[in-house]
Amino acid sequence: MAHKVGIIGGDGIGPDVVAEGLKVIRAAGVELDTVDYHLGGQRYAEDGTVLPDEVLDEWRGLDALYVGAVGTPEVPPGLIERGLLLKMRFSLDLYINLRPFEAPGHDFVVIRENTEGTYAGEGGFLRQGTPHEVATQGSVNTRHGVERCVRYAFELARSRPGKHLTLVHKTNVLTFAGDLWERTFNETAEDYSDVETAYNHVDAACIYFVQSPEQYDVIVTDNLFGDILTDLGGAVSGGIGFASSANLNPNGVSMFEPVHGSAPDIAGQNKANPTAAILSGAMMLDHLGEHDAAARIRKACADKESLTGSTTEIGDLIAGRL
Ligand code: IPM
Ligand code: MN
């Protein structure tokens, strides 16, 4: 039976890279029953729609969601990010953001907590627009939210040959949130004596990402650190055009999207590298149980140097290899 997948091409380069992803999935022999959703900055500009609750409810009945990128420069910053992407993550409880990287001769995975931290929306303004205005934006960290994320990371580390997990945080300054993360990490580690553990401050991790990424196998970190670190991860492993991601709810519908954004500066120019979206499609296929097709797509994308040309040329090249 065909897998029922919701497609949100979105804005800018999003629809173009998703089209290549779907082309490659088809070439791999997997049949998808797709449902298109016209959402994003452009849709908002048209009629003010961001993400209706009825649409969210519909999504709960799907097998997966496949997203290109959302956001247009004309729409106020945050409106689409919060109203669509984060609402999707929070409402569907996509609490694991899994981002794999391949540095030369070595691969590692970042598990980013995806529903809490500074993204949770805590805070606000006081006396906004006056000389005495105050803005706060706190970081929300729950034992439940941290533990389920850390536990997922330990399970993943256990399943990999490296069996190594690094916690990345900033415990020397964030002595409340950092303490909760560190205690949760250390207590959970007691259930995984076969997994070796390490800890890095996030600033030091930035150095290691560039200088010695081979020290990493699985990394677990909070939402904002994970956001920043995974852009860096993309940069040190072939470029952001290759960085794929999964937003997972292990007990519900999950969403797959490239790490990159809508890149409005190159939209419509057939210039964007669709590989990140294609590899996100492969992650989706794995999630749908189509392991053979997923492995074949990954293999077709393995030689990064050969994946040059226009968006459609790269898509055709990869599809051709299948
Ligand atoms: C990402 C993006 C999003 C994030 C934005 C668009 C809200 O940068 O998926 O990494 O910050 O999580
Ligand atoms: Mn990001």
- Neighbour tally for 47: CB within 10 Å: 6
Q: Does residue 103 have a pLDDT over 90?
A: no
Average pLDDT of the chain, as a whole number? 97
pLDDT at residue 40 in the model: 98
Ligand 1 atom nearest to 257, measured from its CA: 9
Residue of 11, 39, 84, 85 best suited for mutating to test ligand 1, as the one with most atoms within 8 Å of CB: 85
Ligand 1 atom nearest to 223, measured from its CA: 12
pLDDT, one tens digit per residue, over 23-63 is 999 999 999 999 999 999 999 999 999 999 999 999 999 99
pLDDT at residue 1 in the model: 79
Domains and CATH numbers, the chain: 1-94+249-322 (3.40.718.10), 96-239 (3.40.718.10)
In DSSP notation, 146-211 reads HHHHHHHHHHHHHHSTT-EEEEEE-TTT-TTHHHHHHHHHHHHHTT-TTSEEEEEEHHHHHHHHHH
pLDDT at residue 104 in the model: 79
SS3 label, residue 20:
helix
Side chain identity, residue 317 = L
What percentage of the chain reaches a pLDDT higher than 70?
100
The region that residue 200 occupies, defined by phi over 0 for left and psi between -120 and 50 for alpha, beta otherwise, is beta
pLDDT at residue 38 in the model: 98
pLDDT at residue 105 in the model: 81
DSSP code, position 320: H
Q: Does residue 18 have a pLDDT over 90?
A: yes
Q: Do residues 224 and 259 lie in contact, with contact meaning Cβ atoms separated by under 8 Å? A: no
CA of 144 to the centre of ligand 2 (A): 24
Residues 6+ apart with CB under 8 A from 188: 147, 150, 151, 154
Residues 6+ apart with CB under 8 A from 207: none
pLDDT, one tens digit per residue, over 198-241 is 999 999 999 999 999 999 999 999 999 999 999 999 999 999 99
Q: Does residue 166 have a pLDDT over 90?
A: yes
Can you tell me the mean pLDDT for 186-191? Answer: 98
Distance CA 214, CA 72 (A): 37
Q: Does residue 269 have a pLDDT over 90?
A: yes
Q: Six-digit token pair at 314?
A: 């790269």
Residues 6+ apart with CB under 8 A from 25: 32, 281, 285, 293, 297
Is residue 93 lining ligand 1, measured as CB closer than 6 Å?
no
Side chain identity, residue 190 = E
**Closest C-alpha among 1, 128, 138 to residue 63:** 1
